[in-house]
Amino acid sequence: MVKFACKKAREIIEELKEYLVDGISTYELELKSIELMKKKKVESAFKGYKGYPANICISVNYEVVHGIPKKGKILKEGDIVSIDVGVKYNGFYGDCADTFPIGKTEVKYIKLIEVARNAFKKSLKAVYSGSKTGNIGYIIENFTKKYGFSVIKEFAGHGIGKNLHLKPEIPNFGEKGKGDILYENQIIAIEPMIAEGTGEIEILQDGWTAVTKDRKFSAHYENCVLIKKDGCEVLS
Ligand code: MF3
Ligand code: CO
């Protein structure tokens, strides 16, 4: 079930969080995630996906998403680190992400992380059968802009179930009443990716890591949500 996969993905993030200390490499977190997935009897949804080389994504500071864990990438006090975990269980996928500071960081980065999380929470008001994806994007974008931050437009949330990425696409911007319609029992991953600066991105030489062009910091929060007749249920 997607519900089970989502629960395991969230547990893995919560357990990895405990290892987020000054001096640890992102590769050590990758190794820990392999161990945790094994223990929980789930597989990575990312490894091998379109050739992605690792089990999880770890994106630090101005990296937005799809950061590849590396031996030489050492986390240090003040960094903000997004961890994205996708797993497969019995043919069903779960996907979630969150961003955490290493030790003490600047107040504005804490705010950035909170706004990503709260943009997700606020968007749930627009999640019910018959609503449209534009209603979700509208809330995320407006909420984010209120704090002077911007949304990343190149990446979006997505449907999820027997595949990691299904229709519809859930952009983090939009217009009320526009976009694809949401149906009862559909499951979607809503994932605000926001940044301090313009929100424009570029992809690094490794072909994966998305970074902000202006090298301003970015935060990511993601959860899967089951669409119900008059509302929704957060699955992780
Ligand atoms: N969590 C990402 C998403 O929702 C997936 C990472 S893509 C991968 O789109 F290639 F890294 F797996
Ligand atoms: Co996703």
* Structure confidence by residue, pLDDT tens digits, 168-227: 999 999 999 999 999 999 999 999 999 999 999 999 999 999 999 999 999 999 999 999
Mean per-residue pLDDT for 18-29?
Answer: 98
- Tally of structural domains, the chain: 1
**Ligand 1 atom 8: residue of nearest CA:** 46
User: Is the CB of residue 45 less than 8 Å from the CB of residue 86?
Assistant: yes
Nearest to 196 by CA among 99, 115, 100: 115
Given the structure tokens 């694809």, which residue do they identify? Answer: 180
CA 46 to ligand 1 center in whole angstroms: 6
Nearest to 33 by CA among 86, 93, 79: 86
Mean per-residue pLDDT for 53-61?
Answer: 98
Given the structure tokens 């696409």, which residue do they identify? Answer: 169
User: Is the CB of residue 127 less than 8 Å from the CB of residue 221?
Assistant: no
Task: Report d(CA 49, CA 158) in Å as an integer.
Answer: 15
1 pLDDT higher than 90: no
**Ligand 1 atom 12: residue of nearest CA:** 46
Answer whether 189 contacts ligand 1 (Cβ < 6 A). Answer: yes
**Mean pLDDT score of the chain:** 98
Q: What is the pLDDT of residue 15?
A: 98
Nearest to 69 by CA among 16, 125, 105, 110: 16
Q: Which range marks the domain in which residue 73 is found?
A: 2-234
Q: In testing the pocket of ligand 1, which one of 10, 52, 160 has its CB within 8 Å of the most ligand atoms?
A: 52
Task: Report d(CA 81, CA 57) in Å as an integer.
Answer: 10
Q: In testing the pocket of ligand 1, which one of 37, 50, 65 has its CB within 8 Å of the most ligand atoms?
A: 65
CATH number of the domain to which 16 belongs: 3.90.230.10
Phi then psi dihedrals of residue 116, to 5 deg: -60, -45
Mean per-residue pLDDT for 107-117?
Answer: 98
CA 191 to ligand 2 center in whole angstroms: 7
Helices vs strands, H then E, count in the chain: 4, 15
Mean per-residue pLDDT for 50-76?
Answer: 98
Nearest to 192 by CA among 104, 103, 142, 120: 120
Answer whether 194 contacts ligand 1 (Cβ < 6 A). Answer: no
The model's pTM is: 0.97
CA 77 to ligand 2 center in whole angstroms: 27
Nearest to 185 by CA among 123, 139, 233: 233
Mean per-residue pLDDT for 133-142?
Answer: 98
